[in-house]
């Protein structure tokens, strides 16, 4: 580090340029990661942020809430299984609501939402940031995603479910409650049946139908599918992948991210390789006056380490600064653990890149320091 840091300081301008490139690359990585995460939230937040470990779906439903229908009586069977801590039924229905009781500009405007039927007090009920939660004696009070605040909805508003005219009252708002890119409206289980199974026979003859059962606890998934007929069990990852579009979305973003990281490793490697070849003469002198290969290698790798670490830290700072000026509607969610992981990956790839120079350092012959110099 002795030589590494002194040279960084001496050749500030040259290293500033290389550092600037690493800053830009890490900035891009973090921004992309935050955007990807925000987009994933939009598609999956309800499931991603829940504490569920396993989900039970109808057989052949491809782990999809919209395709699956199960009888509510299943809950009792699952609760009895070993290792189950908590169970919660969930029913999903897509529809739209409109605000019609108040005489405002928004009057009559329809907003697409996803209705989620849950039992009040179950672990799927979100924490409200405004208002209050579901109450068993008030079946038409609902919790909605706080993004609806920006759409002009307010606490205590009465909204009408379009097409059937059912009236609901907004009793609470909760943060990041989205699914299938739609804001969620949490309604009590009894109420969602009124709006989902309007057409006779649409419940396929199942008494008290629900979409799926989410389970908390440490359970053997094979045991569930073997004791209960007609179901299939998914873990959290499979449930997420069952959400339409999620796998494709997150796949695209992570492909971009990893390509970016791979390319940046290559760029950094080339930079340091060129720098090393320019310094062959200097390293020859160092070796002639007694530096071992490991001393020279440590100097080069240490320099990459210093430069990358500083640059990545600046990249992180830039990213957080940028979140302050992002437009409201842009889905951006940067998780500290993701920042940490990508930082380490970027650092590791640039270190590996710098190892390309090692071979050429070992090959440098100290005899080059003698004779006609410079």
- Residues in contact with another protein by CB under 8 A are 2-3, 6-7, 9-11, 281-282, 285-293, 295, 365-367, 369-374
Residue closer to another protein by CB (options 306, 369) is 369
Residue closer to another protein by CB (options 225, 293) is 293
For the chain, state the CA radius of gyration: 29
Residue closer to another protein by CB (options 235, 365) is 365
In angstroms, what is the minimal distance from the CB of 353 to another protein?
22
In angstroms, what is the minimal distance from the CB of 270 to another protein?
22
- DSSP class of 86: E
Compute the distance between CA of residue 39 and CA of residue 69 in angstroms, rounded to an integer.
Answer: 28
CB 113, CB 185: distance < 8 Å: yes
In angstroms, what is the minimal distance from the CB of 4 to another protein?
10
Distance of CA 16 to the CA centre of its chain: 32
In angstroms, what is the minimal distance from the CB of 294 to another protein?
9
CB 216, CB 86: distance < 8 Å: yes
Compute the distance between CA of residue 242 and CA of residue 211 in angstroms, rounded to an integer.
Answer: 13
Residue closer to another protein by CB (options 81, 288) is 288
Closest CA to 358 of 281, 264, 283: 283
Residue closer to another protein by CB (options 4, 87) is 4
In angstroms, what is the minimal distance from the CB of 240 to another protein?
52
Compute the distance between CA of residue 187 and CA of residue 142 in angstroms, rounded to an integer.
Answer: 5
In angstroms, what is the minimal distance from the CB of 364 to another protein?
12
Secondary structure element (H or E) that encloses residue 341, with its range: helix 336-354
Residue closer to another protein by CB (options 270, 367) is 367
| Six-digit token string for 339 | 């920042």
């Amino acid at each position: 580090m002795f030589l590494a840091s002194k040279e960084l300081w001496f050749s500030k301008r040259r290293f500033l340029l290389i550092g600037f490139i690493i800053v830009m690359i890490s900035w891009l990585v973090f921004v992309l990661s935050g955007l990807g995460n925000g987009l994933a939230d939009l598609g999956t937040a309800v499931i991603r942020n829940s504490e569920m470990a396993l989900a039970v779906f109808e057989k052949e439903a491809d782990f999809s809430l919209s395709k699956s229908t199960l009888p509510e009586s299943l809950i009792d069977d699952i609760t009895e299984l070993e290792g189950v801590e908590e169970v919660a039924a969930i029913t999903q229905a897509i529809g739209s609501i409109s605000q019609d009781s108040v005489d405002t500009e928004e009057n009559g405007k329809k907003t697409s939402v996803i209705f989620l039927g849950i039992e009040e007090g179950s672990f799927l009920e979100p924490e409200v940031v405004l208002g209050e939660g579901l109450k068993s004696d008030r079946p038409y009070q609902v919790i909605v995603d706080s993004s609806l605040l920006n759409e002009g909805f307010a606490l205590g508003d009465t909204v009408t479910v379009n097409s059937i005219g059912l009236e609901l009252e907004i009793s609470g708002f909760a943060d990041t409650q989205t699914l299938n890119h739609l804001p969620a409206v949490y309604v009590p289980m009894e109420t969602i049946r009124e709006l989902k199974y309007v057409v006779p026979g649409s419940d396929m003859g199942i008494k008290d139908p629900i979409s799926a059962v989410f389970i908390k606890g440490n359970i053997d998934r094979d045991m569930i599918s073997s004791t209960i007929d007609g179901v299939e069990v998914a873990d959290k990852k499979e449930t997420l992948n069952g959400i339409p579009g999620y796998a494709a979305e997150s796949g695209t973003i992570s492909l971009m991210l990893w390509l970016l990281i791979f390319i940046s490793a290559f760029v950094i490697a080339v930079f340091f390789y060129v720098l090393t070849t320019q310094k062959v003469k200097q390293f020859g002198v160092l070796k002639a006056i007694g530096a071992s290969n490991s001393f020279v290698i440590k100097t080069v790798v240490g320099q990459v380490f210093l430069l990358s670490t500083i640059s990545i830290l600046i990249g992180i700072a830039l990213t957080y600064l940028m979140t302050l000026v992002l437009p409201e509607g842009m889905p951006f969610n940067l998780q500290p653990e993701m920042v940490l992981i990508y930082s380490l990956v970027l650092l590791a790839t640039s270190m590996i890149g710098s190892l390309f120079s090692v071979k050429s350092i070992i090959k440098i012959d100290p005899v080059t320091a003698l004779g006609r110099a410079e």
